[in-house]
Amino acid sequence: MGDDIDILRTIRLSVLDRSLIRRGEGADEALRATVRFARDIEALGYHRFWVSEHHGVPGVAGSAPTVLAAAVASATTRVRVGTGGVMLPNHRPLVVAEQFGVLESLFPGRIDMGLGRSVGFTGAVRRALGAGKEAAERFGDDLAELLDWFVGNDARGMRAVPAEGLRVPVFLLATGAGAALAAESGLPLVIAPARGEERMLRAVDEYRAAFRPSALTHEAYREPYVVVSVSVAVGETAEEAESMQVSEAWATVVSRTRGVFPPLLPPEEVPVREMTAREATLFAEARRSQIHGTAEEVTAALAGLIRRSGADELLVTLNAHDHGRRLDSHRRLARLAGLRPGA
CA–CA dist 291, 25 (Å, integer)? 26
Residues contacting 333, CB < 8 A, separation 6+: 13, 232, 234, 298, 316
CB atoms < 10 A from the CB of 294, how many?
A: 17
In tens, the pLDDT along 285-325 reads 999 989 999 999 999 999 999 999 999 999 999 999 999 99
Task: With H, G, I as helix, E, B as strand and everything else as coil, classify residue 217.
Answer: coil
CA 54 vs. chain centroid, Å, equals 12
Domain 2-336, CATH homologous superfamily name and number: Luciferase-like domain (3.20.20.30)
Q: Which residues of the chain are under the pLDDT cut of 50?
A: none
- Asked whether the beta carbons of 214 and 316 are under 8 A apart, the reply is no
- Rg, C-alpha atoms of the chain: 19
Per-residue confidence (pLDDT) for residue 154, from 0 to 100: 66
Residues contacting 60, CB < 8 A, separation 6+: 18, 19, 20, 21, 54, 261
Per-residue confidence (pLDDT) for residue 229, from 0 to 100: 97
Is the pTM value of this prediction over 0.85?
Answer: yes
Per-residue confidence (pLDDT) for residue 176, from 0 to 100: 64
In 159-225 the beta strands, taken as DSSP E runs, fall at 170-173, 189-191
Domain boundaries, the chain: 2-336
Query: 97: closest CA among 20, 21, 160, 30?
Result: 160
